[in-house]
Chain A
Amino acid sequence: MMKLDAAILARTQFAFTVSFHIIFPTISIGLASFLAIMEGLWLKTRDAIYLEIYRFWLNIFAMAFGVGVVTGLVLSFEFGLGFARFAQIAGPAIGPLIAYEVLTSFFLEAGFLGIMLFGFDRVGPRLHFAATCLVATGTLFSASWILAANSWMQTPTGAVYQDGHMVVTSWLHVIVNPSWLYRLPHMISAAYLTASFLVAGVGAHYLLRAKHLAFARKSVALGTAFASVLIAGQIFIGDMLYGTMLKHQPAKMQAAEGFWEKESASPAPYYWIIVPDQKNQRNRFAWGTPYLGSIWLTHSLHGREEGLKNTPTNLQPIMGMTFYGFRIMYCLAIVMFGVGGSSVWLRWKGRLFESRWFLRTLVLMTPSGIVATLAGWYLAETGRQPWVIYGILKTVDAISPVPAKALLSTLIGFVCIYMVFMAAFLFFTLRLIRRGPQQLTLNAEASGSLKNALRPHLLDKRVFEGR
Chain B
Amino acid sequence: MDLPLLSACFAAFAITLYVLLDGFDLGVGVLLLFQKSDVARNHMIDSITPTWDGNETWLVMAGITLFTAFPIAYGIIMPAFYIPIIVMLLSLGLRGVSFEFRVQMKKLKHRWDFVFGVASLIASLMQGLIVGGLLQGVQIEGQRFSGHVTDVFHTLPLVTSVALVFGYAVLGSGWLIFKANIVIQKFARGCIRVASIRLTVLFCVGCAYAASVQPGVHSAWIVHAIPLSAILILFILVGGGVATGTSFGVSVLPFTFGLLLFLLGISGLSLIFFPNIIPFRMSLWDAASSPASQRFLLTGASLVTPMVLAYSAFAYWVFRGRTPEKGWEQ
Contacts and interface: CB of A to CB of B under 8 A. Distances in A.
Interface residues of B, number: 68
Contact of B50 (A79, A111, A448): A448
Contacts of B289: 91-92, 95, 165
Interface in B300-330: 300-301, 304-305, 307-308, 311-312, 315, 318-319, 327-329
Contacts of B300: 96, 99-100, 103
A96 B293 contact: yes
B232 to A, nearest CB: 32
A421 B100 contact: no
B79 A410 contact: no
B93 interface: yes
B59 A401 contact: no
B82 interface: yes
Contacts of B51: 448
Interface in A161-179: 164-165, 167-169, 171
B97 A95 contact: no
Interface string B50-87: 11111011011101110111011011111100110111
Interface string B135-149: 000000001111011
B103 A455 contact: yes
Nearest to A399: B79
B71 A87 contact: yes
Interface in B31-63: 49-54, 56-57, 59-61, 63
A80 interface: yes
Contact of A74 (B54, B65, B89): B89
A73 B104 contact: no
B204 interface: no
A424 interface: yes
B100 A104 contact: no
Interface stretch (A36-44, A375-383, A388-396, A412-420): A412-420
Nearest to B312: A110
B90 interface: yes
Contact of B64 (A92, A102, A107, A171): A102
A403 B49 CA distance: 39
B112 to A, nearest CB: 12
Contacts of B211: none
Interface string A102-126: 1110110011001000000000000
Contacts of A15: none
Contact of B328 (A400, A403, A447): A447
B78 A80 contact: yes
A121 to B, nearest CB: 13
Contact of A77 (B63, B145, B301): B63
Given A73-B93, A96-B297, A403 B149 contact: yes
B74 A455 contact: no
Contacts of A403: 148-149
A341 to B, nearest CB: 42
Given A168-B293, A420-B97, A85 B92 contact: no
Contacts of A79: 67, 74, 78
A437 interface: no
A84 B97 contact: no
Contact of B75 (A91, A111, A406): A91
A456 B304 contact: no
Contacts of B229: none
A70 interface: yes
B83 A103 contact: no
Given A92-B68, A400-B78, A457-B104, 16 more contacts: A70-B93, A81-B79, A87-B74, A90-B71, A91-B71, A91-B289, A99-B67, A102-B61, A103-B300, A110-B54, A168-B296, A171-B292, A403-B149, A413-B87, A446-B329, A455-B100
Interface of B: 49-54, 56-57, 59-61, 63-65, 67-69, 71-72, 74-79, 82-83, 85-87, 89-90, 92-94, 96-97, 99-101, 103-104, 143-146, 148-149, 289-290, 292-293, 296-297, 300-301, 304-305, 307-308, 311-312, 315, 318-319, 327-329
15 contacts: A81-B85, A84-B78, A92-B292, A103-B305, A106-B60, A106-B61, A106-B308, A165-B72, A400-B145, A403-B148, A414-B86, A449-B50, A449-B53, A451-B100, A457-B103
